[in-house]
Structure 1
Amino acid sequence: MKGPPGAGRTSGPSVGERRRAGRGQDVRNRRAVDAGLLESVRETMMADAGAVTPSRVAAAVQATGKLLGTAGSLAAAERISAELNGLGPLQELTRDPATTDIFVNAPDSVWVDRGQGIERTPLVFDGEAQLRALACRLVAAGGRRLDDGSPCVDVRLAGGYRVHAVLPPVSTAGTLLSIRIRREKVFTMSELGAAGLFGPRLQIVLEKIVEHRLSFLISGATGSGKTTLLSTLLGLCSPEERLVLIEDASELNPVHPHVVSLESRHGNLEGGGEVDLGELVRQALRMRPDRLVVGECRGAEVRELLTAMNTGHSGGGGTIHANTATAVPARLTALGALAGLGPDAVRLQASSALDVVIHVERTPRGREVACVGIIGDGPDGLIVVPGLQMAAGVPGPAWPALAARLGLDPADLP
């Protein structure tokens, strides 16, 4: 006769529970071994002043005498290289070429952007101490300091990483990391079109903007594809032209035979050695540029962008954060106020310096060029009049004027 449910069972764990516990213990053991191995290799590497290279790390792993096997040794060397000289646990996320951003909100909250929106990953840190140590090491590798006296830092690292870190108590939830990945590959216009950024007809308009040397701003939100599009458009410039790029943090890498890049420099701990965008614009004018490009405007550097584009060098470009193309004038005015420029000064400079605004957006379908408009001086101040509005699928009121400036027949596009 069968006994009641549960009869005959001991009070100990079941076979499944013991297996799960065993697997958990194996993971803890591997972590312990990895931590000990990491410390041993770190001591070996720090004993020599040479660069931390993969070959040196592999040799140091082998020298520990641990029996890891060929695959295990390679995996250990790769992980330790990332811990000593890379992004640590985050390094594996960079293997996907579609990854453009990595966000760490907490030790157990790591997110990536692969172009289709932000996705959570299963990756976790051991704790806040490990996350903070990584943030401090990355910032130190960029020549800056991250501590209570400097809790918010932005640096650029070798390998194309732009790292922004925030420490408590500025961050109420713990250490925050935001990493933008600059891919060395620059897309062609055909590749951007195939990815859905624009259609064939709009591609013709964008190419004509560069060909006819119209000065333009690419507007949009963070991560909308402004820098990607700007790099590609600059690659369309004539090979005989000399491009001088001025950036706060170097991100542009157009495929062009004659590119000169200038990057601003922060001051040292004593405040000396700073080279700002204004100084870079002055230096660029002595370098006989054919086109001047100011990579990004987030603050008072709008003065330098407008100055650069008002020096007689047509065909320049830049990027700016704005909600829509028609909101760019208000954005320029607000940023101009930070630089001590009044609305009239911004209006006069911008209407003289700029011809076109290209607005890009992130949509459920991906990144898209939403609008191309003409910037000019209206009765009530600076305005942007849409020439092409992709969302509406029809030309805007400025299309005839834009088409005329580009040498197109207004009837060529719907």
Structure 2
Amino acid sequence: MSDLNHDKKGKAYKKTTINMTSTSYKQDKWYTTSCSHCTFTLPLRYKDLVLIEKKTYTTIVRATDTTTGKYVAIKKLLCPFRTHIYAKRTHLELKLLIYLNHHDAQVLQLCDVFTPERNVNDFQTLYFVLNFVEYDLHQVIQCYESITEERIKLIIYSLLRGLKFIHSAGIILWDLKPTNIGVDRNNNVTILDFGLARVAPIGSDIDYSPTRLWRAPEIYLNKKKCDEKIDIWSVGCIMAELILLKPLFSGKVTINQLNRIFDIIGTPDSKTLQEICIPEASAYISRMRPKPKTNFNELFGFKYDPLTETSISGVSPEGVGLLDQLLSFDPRQRPTVEQALSHPFLEFYHDPNDEPTIEPLIDEHEDAVCSKEQWKATIWRMIEGFIPPSWINNDTTDNS
């Protein structure tokens, strides 16, 4: 999405008919290089690698696309087919990137996907070429002594606008946090990571958990209650962090995290606990010392300079009211993304006609039980069939 302080673009877009996947590159058009002790085998068009992030299973670099002259981010999946579980996750991540590819939805854009291997039997390496975003929200928060209410409004609106698009597809992000949110110098927000995203409903068979500090309480207490409202809780945590310039709930382990949550929102009543939690969790919390809810106006409301009497941090009562809803313990009481966008705090930016949506994703492989080799064959076909959208090369972002 363009800078929200300017006119917003339309939602129509087309796809080109030029296939730019790995099969369209000649073997002599590739080269091998190294960045931060990680080997990359890339088409010649991608040069001048600079490390962005290195994790256990991925390495992300910035590169110059010599065809367009723009920066891109290249994500190398280091062990995409280690087991059939890894292969299934790789398939889902690629499927989501392709399905959600949109020019104006606050969502990461897939410019290309390729492998240097020439046939499926040798297929071990996978690269995503993505739009490059200069900063993440964690870096932005660290740079400020305070963030104005107007900027908080813009960031939270943009984040919810992206979530509206994602949730309309029936997709739950599951791990929304500041380091997974890109922000450019014009305050444009991009949701960056679908690595843990799932197609709704999530169910109770999740074998991995989102990052603790932004994790909704039902993830601890009853995974059967997990739905798209876990992302809404994360938005509340992020909004609070924009105000306080530090994570709101900074527990070290599960019990400590729940205590931190109850320190702020108060201990839920027994009826809510019984309705939301599994019996063991409800019984455990009921034995804890009850805690009252913190005064949200005092914690998150405007703070004033004693000399000038101008606000120097915090948000208005409308902002406090929205935050109170986002951080409801009971997910049934949290707003949907559409309800959050309609809140008076975001009235200046909210325009339902300029908030893209998409049909729910039908994942025919959601319940599939496939071997590692079968997943590889499916992903190989997806790479061969990928067509970069025409708007990818129309970006006028200045990389300077």
Which of the five TM-score ranges fits, normalised by the shorter chain? under 0.3
Q: Which has the larger radius of gyration?
A: 1
What's the TM-score once normalised by structure 1's chain length? 0.26
| Structure of higher RCO (CA pairs closer than 8 Å, 6+ residues apart) | 2
| Structure with the larger strand share | 1
